[in-house]
Amino acid sequence: MAQSDSYYLHDIPLDQAWQRFEQALETAGLNGVLGSEEAELEESLVGRVTTAPVWALTSSPNYHSAAMDGFALRSEDILNAMPTAPVILAVGEQAAYVDTGDPLPAWANCVIPIENVEPLNLNGTPASDARKPGQIRLRAALPPWSHVRPMGEDIVATQLILPTGHVLRPVDLGAVAASGHKSLRIAKKPKVAILPTGSELVVLGSEVRRGDIIEYNSLVLAGQVRDWGGEPQRFPIIPDDLEKIRAQVQAAAEYNDLILLNAGSSAGAEDFSAQVIAALGQVLVHGVAVRPGHPVILGMVRRSNGKMIPIIGVPGYPVSAALTGEIFVEPLLACWTGRPPAQAIEIEAAITRKITSPAGDDDYIRVVVGRVGDRMLAAPLARGAGVITSLVRADGLTILPRGTQGVEAGTKVRVRLYHTPAELEQTIFSIGSHDVTLDVLAQYLAKRGRRLVSANVGSLGGLVALRRKEAHLAGSHLLDPASGEYNLLAVRQYLPGIKINIYAWVGREQGLMVAHGNPLGIAGLADLTRSDIAYVNRQRGAGTRVLLDYQLEKLGVTPEQVHGYAMEEFTHLAVAAAVASGRADCGLGIPAAAQALGLDFIPLFHEQYDLIIPAEFAASPLLSPLFEVMDNQEFKQDVAALPGYDISRMGTLIAEIDA
C-alpha cells in the first residue's frame, strides 16, 4: 500500500480494518503463536497457555491402593458373612491392616473399613487394639474392589491430560504433576510496549495545574495486556515532539512484539502518530468505523533487522483507549498465545431509553444491567469518550451495528457482559433525583451483597421510570406549592394504579453554591437578575428546578431575567463543578456538593428528600438489605456527618398510596 494512501476518517468498517491488519501480520509471519518455552511447574503458570499436548507418563495411582483405613482381604473369603452367621478371618494370613493410600497386598481385592470390623484376640475375646488384632469378625459380605482405588483410577499412562492451547488453572498443574511431568511447554508472553504521548500529561502523584491531565491510560492498557497474557512495559511520557516520539517508537520496536502508541492518533496539529508510523513502516488503516475509538491507527513498523512488527495508534480518550484494547489487542494476544479470543457471556435485555447512533459506525454503548420485576433491563450510561467512570460502572456493552441509527426505549438488545448473570440479579435500580447520600448507601449495600445502580434523571424522571417499571426505587423531592407537602401529590399524579410506599430519607438544605469567599457578594435568589452573575440550572423535572421556579415566582422573577437559566446539569456535583471551574458563578444545590469542591454555601431552604418504592419491591428479598441499612446506626452517623442533612425521620413510612 502506498504511503500516500489515506484511510483517515474514511469510515473503514471494522471487518475490513481487521482484514488489512491480518494480511500484514501474515506477511510478517505473526499470525500464530510467537514462540514457546519450557517452564517448571513450580513457576507461576496459572493463566499461561500450553503449546504442546501433555500425555501422561505414569498412571495415578500407579498401584491398587486402600481407599479407607481398614483390613485388606479377599472378597471371596467373606462371601457368606451375615449378621447371624459372621465370618472370622486370621490377621496375617487372610487379612492385613492398611491405612488409606497404602498399597493393597497382591492377594487382596477389597478393603473393609475398620469401623465395620470386630477385632478379636486369638482366644476370641475382644482385642484392645483394633489395628493389631489376632483375628477379625465380619458380619457382611463385600463385592470385589470395594474401598479400593484401582491403578489408573485417576490417570492411565499415555492418556491425554491437557491439549494444546489450554489456559492453565491451578488444578491443571496438579494433574500434570500427577501424570509424571515436572515442566510444561507454554506460549511465550508477547512483549507489549505502551508509549503515552502528550505535552499536557503528568505522572501520577504530580501537582495537577490548569491544563494538566494525569496520565493513566497506560495503567489501563497495561492491566489489559497483563490480563490477556502479555507482558506490558510502560514507557515514560513523551511530549508532543515528532522526533522524540519517532525515536522512542524505533527503540521500543527492537525488543517488543507490539507497540501501543497512545494519543496523537487524530488529525490535530500535534497528532504525530500517523506520521511516525509512516516514517518507520506503513500505515494500514487510519480511522475505523467504531464509536468510541474512531481515530485508531493500525500499522507496521520495521526493526533494525528488517523484521516488521505491529503498532496500534490508540486514541487518547480513556474510553476509546480501553475499547481499542478490547477490540484489537485482546484478539491479537489470543492469537499469539494460542488461546481462543475471549467470548463474553451475552444476554438479552430491554433498553430503558431511546438511543440515537451514527449510521455509519458500530456504536459501543455502555450499559448497566439488572432485573426489575420480570424484565431484564439495560440502562445506557454516559457516552462521552472521556468518561472512564462509565466503564467502571458498566455491566456490559450493547453494540448497535453500522446502518442502525438508534433504538427506541423498550427495544430488546444483546448485551456483552462484564459481570456474571448471578451478579446482575443482585442489582437495585435507583432512578431519580441525585443525592450524595446514595453513594454512601451503595457502600453499605455492597457489604450486604447488593449493587446499587443510580441514574440521575431528576425527581420527575424517577417517577416516570417507576411507572414504566424500569426502577426499584426513586429519590424524589417534588414540592407541591399549594400544600407545602413533598412528593404525595406527584406520586398520585404520575403513578396511578400502582401501590406505592413513601419512606422518609433525609431532610436537607438547599442553597446557592458560590466560589470560595463569595467574590460577587451573592446573598440570595434576587441576585440572579444581576447582569454580572451567570447561573447554572438543573434539568427540567429535577426537584431542585421545581424549587427554584417556585421561589422565583414568589419573588416575581421570570426565567428570562436569570442569565444562565437554560444551562443545565443533571447532578448537584455537576452544578458544583460548573461553579468551581468558573463556567458559572452560582447554582442551587446542597452543601455536601459545595463542600466536595471547596465552594462556599449560602443556605436558603429546607426540603424533604424521600425514597419512592413500589410496594411489590418494598416487600421483596432484593430490597431487604436496604431497610437494614436505613436502621443501621453507623450508616446514619456517616450521613449525619455530611453537611446539611437531617436524619431524624430516616426510614419512616410516610405514606402507603394505592392510587
State the pLDDT at residue 403: 83
**Are 508 and 636 in a shared domain?**
yes
State the pLDDT at residue 2: 40
**Residue 97 and residue 126 in contact, taking contact as beta carbons nearer than 8 Å:** no
Give 387 or 59, the one with higher predicted confidence.
Answer: 59
pLDDT digits (tens, 9 = 90+) for 62-121: 999 999 999 999 999 999 999 999 999 999 999 999 999 999 999 999 999 999 999 999
**Are 44 and 163 in a shared domain?**
yes
pTM for this prediction: 0.82
Assigned domain for 120 exists? yes
State the pLDDT at residue 522: 97
Assigned domain for 2 exists? no
Asked which of 337, 363, 379 is the last residue of a domain, the reply is 337
**Are 179 and 217 in a shared domain?**
no
With cut-offs at 50, 70 and 90, classify the pLDDT of residue 53. Answer: very high
Nearest to 253 by CA among 308, 316, 330: 308
Least confident range from 124-128, 392-396, 513-517: namely 392-396
With cut-offs at 50, 70 and 90, classify the pLDDT of residue 189. Answer: very high
State the pLDDT at residue 655: 94
**Are 143 and 159 in a shared domain?**
no
**Are 292 and 222 in a shared domain?**
yes
Expressed in angstroms, the distance from the first to the final Cα of the chain is 69
Assigned domain for 100 exists? yes
Say which DSSP state 272 is in: -
What share of the chain in percent tops pLDDT 70? 97
Asked which of 124, 149, 174 is the last residue of a domain, the reply is 149
Assigned domain for 459 exists? no
Say which DSSP state 7 is in: -
Assigned domain for 439 exists? no
Asked which of 279, 313, 337 is the last residue of a domain, the reply is 337
State the pLDDT at residue 6: 47
Residue ranges with strand state E in 590-641: 600-614
Range of the domain at 181: 36-61+153-187
**What is the SS3 string spanning 159-182?**
CEEECCCCECCHHHHHHHHHCCCC
Provide mean pLDDT across the span 232-241. 95
**Are 512 and 650 in a shared domain?**
yes
**Are 579 and 627 in a shared domain?**
yes
With cut-offs at 50, 70 and 90, classify the pLDDT of residue 267. Answer: low
Residue corresponding to grid cell 456535583: 573
Q: Using the Cα atoms of residue 168, residue 171, residue 173 and residue 176 in order, give the sign of their dihedral.
A: negative
Q: Checking phi first, is residue 26 left (phi over 0); if not, alpha (psi -120 to 50) or beta?
A: alpha
Nearest to 227 by CA among 267, 189, 188, 277: 189
**How many CB atoms are closer than 10 A to CB 453?**
20
Q: How far is CA 424 from CA 418, 419, 520, 532, 536, in A?
A: 10, 7, 48, 49, 36
State the pLDDT at residue 7: 43
Nearest to 291 by CA among 406, 407, 417, 383: 383
**Are 476 and 506 in a shared domain?**
yes
**Are 494 and 524 in a shared domain?**
yes
State the pLDDT at residue 658: 85
- Alpha carbon distance 270, 589 (integer Å): 40
Average pLDDT value over all residues in the chain: 92
Residue 211 has pLDDT above 90, yes or no: no
Q: What is the CATH number of the domain that holds 163?
A: 3.90.105.10
With cut-offs at 50, 70 and 90, classify the pLDDT of residue 265. Answer: low
With cut-offs at 50, 70 and 90, classify the pLDDT of residue 541. Answer: confident
State the pLDDT at residue 3: 43
Provide mean pLDDT across the span 189-200. 96
**Are 171 and 270 in a shared domain?**
no
Number of domains in the chain: 5
State the pLDDT at residue 194: 98
Q: What is the CATH number of the domain that holds 409?
A: 2.40.340.10
**Residue 490 and residue 543 in contact, taking contact as beta carbons nearer than 8 Å:** no
What count of residues does the chain have? 659
- Alpha carbon distance 246, 419 (integer Å): 40
Provide mean pLDDT across the span 549-568. 95
State the pLDDT at residue 384: 67
pLDDT digits (tens, 9 = 90+) for 566-606: 999 988 999 999 999 999 999 999 999 999 999 999 999 99
**Are 258 and 313 in a shared domain?**
yes
Q: What is the CATH number of the domain that holds 519?
A: 3.40.190.10
pLDDT digits (tens, 9 = 90+) for 445-478: 999 999 998 888 889 999 999 999 999 999 999 9
Assigned domain for 454 exists? no
State the pLDDT at residue 293: 84
Residue 268 has pLDDT above 80, yes or no: no
Assigned domain for 446 exists? no
Q: What is the CATH number of the domain that holds 89?
A: 2.170.190.11
Assigned domain for 452 exists? no
**Residue 592 and residue 598 in contact, taking contact as beta carbons nearer than 8 Å:** no
Residue 5 has pLDDT above 50, yes or no: no
Q: Regarding beta strands 586-589 and 499-514, do their DSSP bridges make them parallel or antiparallel, or are they unpaired?
A: antiparallel
**Are 238 and 314 in a shared domain?**
yes
Give Cβ neighbours of residue 37 (< 8 Å, ≥ 6 apart).
Answer: 185, 186, 188
With cut-offs at 50, 70 and 90, classify the pLDDT of residue 1. Answer: very low
